A and B are shown apart, each in its own frame.
Chain A
């Protein structure tokens, strides 16, 4: 078991499988809010669902309505279980907070090389840490 220290952004804890995205995500217009499938043309995760995953991505992009889009997904049950950013932005951070999705950013080690798709991890958005099994 290893622990990666992070900055706490949105409270709560969750355990689930990692899904990595090397590119930023636009939650308004880039994701189908009903299914959680990435719809943005040419995105590395195009066609994959972020629903129920520990979603690891650099940061958000696009419209400020993105915060409401995350909230909408959470209500539909299609939101990610938890989120990890390299360095987050206002749109994703506010979206996580208003939706109650546990979230951390600024991990002390490079999670994009350290973590693998499908790996089981726990995200603690209250204490600010990721725990791997």
Chain B
């Protein structure tokens, strides 16, 4: 890999220890993946923010980097392990909260915007078409590549941080035109509607096509919310960084020879596979984080009602502020449902607290089962809010 004189200097420690360590990470990744050089990035999204995932060592690493590291690109954060302001209301311990705040402080010291959301594109980190970026958070990477046409590999926490501190990323993978072409054609033979069905579609495609980039035909309409749900599940269940949908996503692709079909039966089976025998004791919506339109919708359903079981609405703090201005927050909080800003059920320390989750999100189902050993119900917003009010799951 060729480095400029300035990059050589960064690698040899001429610009401090955090820059040196970051360059070492990026040069090694470049070598492993056959990059010819480093390229500048203008936007970074860092995952690995929850103290539940980082532990003491991760915190130490971040604190070390924060000694002399400064972000050189616009950098935002993934959700933390708690609501940074209202953590007690979510049942988080003070011990955990203190550690989590040290993580946030380390990022803030580096000049990172401590936004704590998996939807950075909704709160001001919105790269344009063709822009080179270094994002972690698999759903956001998929949204950036597919929906925005920006270019990002699926970074891990440390490599995204390294890109923030150096303003660079190795030139390989999704940064190269040829690697953004579809390699599997998906014919969707049924109308897909709502976030839970788009999540189910992502699960079906992910499980059939793995990390290949699909060209999805047969989907003619998709809202912002449906696309973010599709991005989350297709990346969780398959690992792809991108998809194409004609007339919805902006990039062109050749039509691949390999083809698979998705029928109504496949969608039904996927939804059934995410519905266990149990009555919900926890409802969580907002994976990825809720948009203002989704919050408006939920407020309409909760007006004048009371929830019987713990109900979390996960969203970015900025989106919650809009909901405050519009009066949605009051309606929602009067019902007993809680906002979970800056966090979500995937990264909060919830193991052992609940047994059965109701959600619209296929991604939430994966982590609820794998990380927390919960049973799950996946369904529409209406089904989830009804479960919140009655404590019963209606098919």
A residues near B (Cβ < 8 Å) are 7, 9-11, 28, 33, 64-65, 67-69, 71-76, 88-91, 93-94, 97-98, 105
Q: Is the CB of A67 within 8 A of B55?
A: no
How near does chain A come to B228, taking the closest CB pair, in angstroms?
20
Known A-B contacts A68-B57, A90-B156; the reply to A9 vs B48 at CB < 8 A is no
Which residues of the other chain, A, contact B21 by a CB distance below 8 angstroms? 97-98
Binding site for A on B (CB under 8 A): 21, 24-25, 28-29, 31-33, 47-48, 53-58, 60-61, 136, 155-159
Q: Is the CB of B32 within 8 A of A68?
A: no
Q: Which residues does chain B contribute within 8 Å of A28, judged by CB atoms?
A: 53
Contacts of B31 in A (CB 8 A): 7, 9
Chain B residues contacting A33 (CB-CB under 8 Å) are 55, 57
What is the interface of chain B mostly: helix, strand, loop, or mixed? Answer: helix
- Given A65-B157, A67-B158, A94:B28 Cβ within 8 A: yes
Q: Contact: B32 with A88, CB < 8 Å?
A: yes
How distant is B13 from chain A, measured CB to nearest CB, in Å? 13
**CA distance in complex: A75, B55 (Å):** 12
- Give the distance in Å from the alpha carbon of A65 to the alpha carbon of B61 in the complex: 13
Contact partner of B61 (CB less than 8 A), chosen from A9, A71, A93, is A71
Residue in chain A with minimal CB distance to B61: A71
Q: How far is the CB of B169 from chain A (nearest CB, A)?
A: 12
Q: With A91-B156, A94-B156, A94-B159 in contact, is A72–B25 under 8 Å at CB? A: no
Q: With A75-B57, A90-B156 known to touch, is A68 a contact of B48 (CB < 8 Å)?
A: yes
Give the residue of A65, A68, A72, A90 whose beta carbon is less than 8 angstroms from that of B29: A90
Known: A64-B47, A88-B32, A98-B25. A72 touches B156 (CB 8 A): no
- Inter-chain CA distance A64–B235, complex, in Å, is 14
B58 touches A72 (CB 8 A): yes
Q: How far is the CA of A102 from the CA of B187 in the complex (A)?
A: 48
Q: How far is the CA of A97 from the CA of B27 in the complex (A)?
A: 11
Bound complex: CA of A91 vs CA of B33, how far in Å? Answer: 13
B-chain residues with CB within 8 Å of residue A91 when the two chains form the complex: 156
CA distance A80 to B155 in the complex (A): 24
Query: Roughly how many angstroms separate A7 CA and B27 CA in the complex, as a whole number?
Result: 13
Which of A9, A11, A68 meets B157, CB within 8 Å? A68
Given A94-B158, A98-B158: A68 and B28 interface contact (C-beta under 8 Å): no
Q: Inside 8 A of B58's CB, which chain A residues have their CB? A: 65, 68, 71-72
With most chain B CB atoms within 10 A of its CB, the pick from A65, A67, A74, A105 is A65
**Shortest beta-carbon distance from B115 to chain A in Å:** 20
Hey, which chain A residues are within 8 Å of B24, CB to CB? 11, 97
Residues of chain A within 8 A of B57, CB atoms compared: 33, 68-69, 71-76
**Chain B residues, CB < 8 A from A98:** 21, 25, 61, 158
Q: List 28 A-B contacts (CB under 8 A).
A: A9-B28, A33-B55, A33-B57, A64-B47, A64-B136, A64-B155, A65-B54, A65-B156, A65-B157, A67-B158, A68-B57, A68-B58, A68-B157, A71-B58, A72-B57, A75-B57, A76-B57, A90-B29, A90-B33, A90-B159, A91-B156, A93-B28, A93-B32, A94-B28, A94-B156, A94-B159, A97-B28, A98-B21
